[in-house]
Every structure is written in structure tokens, then in C-alpha cells.
Structure 1
Amino acid sequence: MSLQKRYGPWALVLGASEGTGREFARQLAAEGIPSILIARREAPLEQLKAEIAQEYGVACINATIDLAHGDALERIVAVVDDREVGLLICNAGGDPNGKLFLDVPLSAWLDLIQRNVMTTMAVCHHFAGPMRTRGQGGILLLNSGACYGGAATMGPYSGSKAFMLGFAEGLWADLQPHGVDVLTLVLGRTDTPEFRRFLAEKGMDMPEDVWSAEAVARLGLERLPHGPIQNVGQADDQSGMSPQSAAERRARVVAVSKVTAELYGTGH
């Protein structure tokens, strides 16, 4: 089944202004799927929308929304209006702080949690419902290798990504019987403008083992039907980022879901 038939007629891309979000929108447009482009900065969104229209003849729409604000879902829903979203891509969710927990005001960490956890969960809850009713759709959650464990300067960030990992596994188990695909794409080092800014700030050179944003987006769309996890740079049965491979974690989710189905009578 083509991407357009499986995940159309519209995609909703959060964090679409640059990097992997931008690449997802471009690759979807190449398949004839227009996107609703959401990010904080208007100029990059306008530029991306114009490029997509010129190169692919696909008309996207865009809106500037801060996903760290409590009204983000309400504003996204208003922009989407009555358009049918067949694919939700949550690409926003980095760590703009990069400092020790106590060296940053609490408000900054609360913004991170609002963006990475609360808004992500809210948009999934809103848009997954119609997908389940239609028996078709996809949800792609961009993650980080930080989901597998914390480290200095990464406490709240890794905690938010660990939430995404467990949430994606559970959401996949919930929706897979209804024909809705869910994948959390776990990234390592990726060549994005944000990563380049970080390297420049630290006076570091670009590492050799870096994936391009284009390759990451292509992999995510290819692996979306094979959730709930894809570790970028690793085969399905290969461990490395964590002691368990994606295949082993999938088997665990299936096994535990059978137990919970019996406990709660969900019928899975």
C-alpha cells in the first residue's frame, strides 16, 4: 500500500521548521501527502511551504505554535480544522538547556516536560481516536538514545524520552489491532541545524558516525508499519543502544499485553 493511501490525506508534523521535521514534510510531499506544518518560527515554515509547492505541487499549511504552552493542543486542533489527519509526526522535543538540573530555573524544565510529554500525549490522544475509528493511520514519535538511561545534564530530558519510549510501546499495543501504526524512532547523532549549532558552541568538529536528516526521515517512514521501536543505525534484532534489541522489546510488549488483556478484559 502506498504512503498516500495508508497515511493520507493529511500529515500533521510538529517541529517542522528544520532538520528531520523538514525532511519528513518534503518526503511526504514527494508521495503526494500535504502536511500541516507546526513550529515556533514562522519564516522557516513559510519557506518550506513555498519549496514544497514549487517542487512537488503540494499545498501545505502552516502555523506558529509553541508546544511548551498549555494551549498547544487547542491551537493545533483549530489549525487542522476539519482536515483528516492520517499521519501524526511528533518531531519537536529537544533539550535547549544542556545544563545541570540545579543550574537551570525550574520553569525551563517544566517547559521541556510540557513540550516533550504533555503536549505529545495530548495530540496523540486527540488524533489517534479518529484513526482507530477509520481503522487506518500512523503515529511517529521522534526519540533519542537518551530514552534508555540518564546522565549528567540530561535528567529531565532523558526522563521525558523514557516516557516516550514506554508510551509508544503501550500505544502501539493499543492501536495495532485496529490498523493504526505506531513507531518511536530512536535517534543517535543526526546532522541537523540544531546539532551543528551545538557543535559550534562547543568548538567541536562533526563526528563521522552521523546520520543525515534525510536518511533518518526515510528510515522512519519505511519502518513505521513495523513498530513500536526502530533504533537508528541498528537492525531490528541488533542490540547496542540498549541491552535489548527492538525485536526483543516488541516481543516483551506483546507478551505483557496478553497478560493485561486478561486482567482488564480489553479483548486484545
Structure 2
Amino acid sequence: MADQRPLAVVTGASTGIGFELARLCAENGFDLVVAADEPKIADAASTFRQLGADVTAVEADLSTTEGVDKLYAAVADRKVDALLANAGRGLGKGFLDQDLERALKVVDTNVTGTISLIHKIGNDMRRRGEGKILITGSIAGFIPGSFQAVYNGTKAFLDNFAFGLRDELKDTGVTVSCLMPGPTDTQFFERADMMDTSIGQARKDDPAKVAKDGFDAMMSGEGDLVSGWKNKLQATLADITPPGLLAGQHRGMAEPGSGTS
């Protein structure tokens, strides 16, 4: 009887960094449970199956309790070897100009749904004494996000949460890694209504390269990985720059109209 392939759960896997993370898992011998809140997840699953993986695709809104429960039910009684908690959304414009329901959905997707899923699968891992968790944070978590304040706030939470959870689990056999990319060439800025901003129009990192950095960090048990040397420099400078100055710098990147001449 052939050895059973390990299982990875990847959220936000229909496009972008999540798609590339799932692809790497499939290429490296994992079967998959992949989730996203759009029908494209079925197309992504077909791609992963062509790489030899057994794939369960789940269309679910992970900003809701029902969506998290639907994904966890799809795992059933299978042992999850790796959880790649990547699902996230952003929203541009000033906070008081945003639709509050959309802003709260950013919080519920990036924070509430993420930690709810980690709580369920993380407990299963801890009981077994093994498992790998990768959380997609962001260098945005180091920067007060003028005109992206809710999103940056959620990423600050995730970056901090990942370090705290890693320490709590250090003697359990479960590792926690945090991938902290910078602006990446995905549909994020279009979906966040930020294409009229400087950051929306700027050159961005390759999602395949970002995902490879995160996957390698997870597999080696590394605690955190800022992807890209420019982002590493920005993260380092953020530690020594006054928050007010950082917020002003972020305004220049994210204020609506900053990308127009």
C-alpha cells in the first residue's frame, strides 16, 4: 500500500499568492483542500489535480462562521499536515468614506475568519503533536495605513498574532510561520478600488516568488519571512520611523488620485 500523501488546507487559493501556495503544495506531494469565496476555485482545483494532487474545492465566504464551518467540514476526519491561512481582502479610500459593511468584511475575513480556522485546525494539530501553519500577514502591518487604515490594522494584528501563537506552540511540534509580502501583482488592488492610487499603479512583486518564499519558510519552520529585499528594507526602516511620518508616507501611496498625473 502506497504511503498516504500529506494534506494541506489553503485559503484564498483561487488566484494570486494563495493559488501559487496551493500549486507549490501540489508540486511537493500534498493533497489539497482549497477554498475561496468565488467560483474560480473550481478552475484552480482542476489545475492542481493536473499536478497529481487529490483536491477538494470549497467555495465559502470565510468572513462568516458558516463559511469557516463549511471548510472545516470538508476536511472531515483527515489529518491536516499544513494550514496555509492566506485568505484576505483590502479596501481603499479614507475610513469615513468607506462603506462600513465592506470595511467590517475586511476585518471579518482577515482576522475573525483566519483565527477561527486556525483555532479549529490548530487544536487538531496540537493534539497530534505535529503540523505546520503559515499565516499571510504583510509589511503593511508595520505601517499606519492612511487611506487603507482598516486593512493595515488587520495585517498588524496578523503579524503580531503569528509571533504570539508561534511562541505558545513552541514545544508542541506545531510550527507557525508568517509570510509578510509587500505589494504583489495580484487582483488585490483592483478589488480594493485602489487602481487610481500610486501603489495601485506601481510595479509589484511576482506572486509566484512571494509564495515560494512563504512555502519554504513554512516547510523549514522559520518564524517569519519578509519577501523581497526592498520590502525587508522598508520593514526595517518602519521600526525606526515615527508613526506619524509613516502615515504621511502611506498617504502618498494610497490616497485616491495619487496615481494620476
Shorter-chain TM range is 0.7 to 0.9
Between the two proteins, what is the percent identity of the paired residues? 30
Q: Aligned to 2:34, what secondary structure does the other structure show?
A: strand
Aligned counterpart in structure 1 of residue 17 of structure 2, from 6, 20, 30: 20
Alignment of 1:123-202 (within 5 A): 123-195=117-189, 201-202=195-196
RMSD (Å), alpha carbons: 2.7
Mapped contact 2:107–2:154 kept (Cα < 8 A): yes
Q: Displacement, 1:19?
A: 0.5
- Call closer, same or farther: CA 1:197–1:69 in 2, change over 3 Å: closer
Query: 1:33 is matched with which residue?
Result: 30
Matches of 2:93 and 2:192, distance apart in 1: 13
- Output the CA distance in 2 between the equivalents of 1:137 and 1:9: 10
Question: 1:48 aligns to what?
Answer: 44
Please, what TM-score do these two structures have when normalized by structure 2?
0.81
Counterpart residue number, 2:245:
none
Are 1:89 and 2:69 matched, yes or no?
A: no
Query: What residue is the counterpart of 1:73 in the other structure?
Result: 68
Amino acid at match of 1:76: L
TM-score (normalizing by structure 1): 0.79
Alpha carbons 2:141, 2:152 under 8 Å: kept:
yes
Write the distance in 2 (CA, Å) between the matches of 1:133 and 1:244.
38
Structure 1 range deviating more: 74-83 or 13-22: 74-83
Letter in structure 1 aligned against 2:45: K
Q: 1:233 and 1:170 mapped to 2: Cα distance?
A: 24
Change (3 A) 1:145 1:244: closer
Distance in 2 separating the partners of 1:203 and 1:170: 34
Q: Kindly provide the CA deviation profile for residues 38-72 of structure 1, in whole angstroms up to 9, marking residues without a partner as x.
A: 00112x21212212222x22220101101122322
For residues 132 and 228 of structure 1, the distance between their equivalents in structure 2, rounded to whole angstroms, comes to 17
For residues 152 and 206 of structure 1, the distance between their equivalents in structure 2, rounded to whole angstroms, comes to: 17
Structure 2 Cα separation of the partners of residues 165 and 57 of structure 1: 33
Q: Secondary structure at the match of 2:74?
A: helix
* Shift in Å, 1:194: 3.0
> Structure 2, unaligned stretches of length 5 or more?
240-261
The answer to whether 1:232 aligns with 2:209 is: no
The residue type equivalent to 1:22 in the other structure is F
Does structure 1 residue 114 correspond to structure 2 residue 97? no
User: Does structure 1 retain, via aligned residues, the 8 Å contact 2:12–2:35?
Assistant: yes
How many equivalent residue pairs? 235
After TM superposition, give the deviation of residue 81 of structure 1 in Å: 1.1
Task: Give the CA deviation at 1:239.
Answer: 5.2
Secondary structure class of the residue paired with 1:41:
coil
In 1, distance between residues paired with 2:106 and 2:191?
A: 19
Q: Report the equivalent of 1:59.
A: 54
Q: Is the 8 A contact 1:38 1:63 kept in 2?
A: yes
Counterpart CA distance in 2 for 1:34 and 1:123 is 19
Letter of the 1:147 counterpart = G
Deviation at 1:118, TM superposition (A): 1.0
**For residues 188 and 154 of structure 2, what CA distance do their matches in structure 1 show?**
19
3-state SS of 1:214 partner: helix
Moved more, 71-80 or 81-90: 71-80
